[in-house]
Amino acid sequence: MSLSLSIRVFEILLGWSLALQTLEYLRVQSLDRISVWPVLRQEIPARPAWIKALLDALFAPKPYIALLLLRLALAMALMFGLIGLSGAILLFLIALLLLLRWRGAFNGGSDFMTLVAISGLLLAHTAGALTDMSWGWRAGFWYISLQTISSYFVSGWVKLLRPEWRSGRAMTLFLDTGIYGPLPSRSIFRHPMLARVCSWSFTVWEGCFPLALLDVRLAWLFCAVAALFHFLVFVFFGLNRFFWAWIATFPAVLYCAGATW
């Protein structure tokens, strides 16, 4: 992928991912009273007092809604390629504030990857302001790529060290916790051999993800498998955030795999 095309696809995917996440934040207010700030603030340290006072002011109902609407507007602007350094700074600061509000993460790994993508965006515009935008985007894309590839690599090799993943038992146990309840007793995924093959396939694919940087064709293959993997996670577990958060980083991986310096 050319640099200009990679930038455009990245901006659209990241903007879309941020928009969906923000709509989810807005929706959850009427569904889950446990997530209201008076409950969450109890785990914020009392000192220094000014931080808690500032967060109380920001996360009061009306300011919090305004903050989310600002994030939604920035996400839409990003999709249209209208975000510069100031917009990237705002997106980064809002991401940090939301991590504070949710005591670290609202949805685990998807929040981490979203922060990685936003950090890469901020790095691209900051470096671009100091040098030129092409070098800035290259720096941002390499940061995103290394973080993305590392996340898969670590996940794969951690699985390799766990006997339940090597035997395939973990695959069945995870699928039993899906949104549609335990697997049927005759499900093909309860077959020990199939569960082992699936488990080893995903383990080896994750552990070998750094090979994607050797050739852009390998990068397309690894990213295609990753897209399928995250789609299956969405189907079985309803984790739509994971799908878009990781997909948004793929333009960076594809660009870096085919980059010539």
- Residues in Cβ contact with 122 at an 8 Å cutoff, skipping those fewer than 6 apart: 88, 89, 91, 92, 140
pTM of the model: 0.91
Q: Which DSSP string corresponds to 130-156?
A: HS-HHHHHHHHHHHHHHHHHHHHHHHH
State the Cα–Cα distance between residues 184 and 190, nearest whole angstrom.
9
State the Cα–Cα distance between residues 202 and 225, nearest whole angstrom.
9
Q: Is residue 80 pLDDT above 80, yes or no?
A: yes
Q: Which of 220, 222, 215 is nearest to 152 (CA)?
A: 222
Q: Where are the domains of the chain?
A: 3-258
Give 190's pLDDT tier (boundaries 50, 70, 90). confident
State the Cα–Cα distance between residues 198 and 109, nearest whole angstrom.
22
What pLDDT shows up at residue 45?
74
Give 32's pLDDT tier (boundaries 50, 70, 90). low
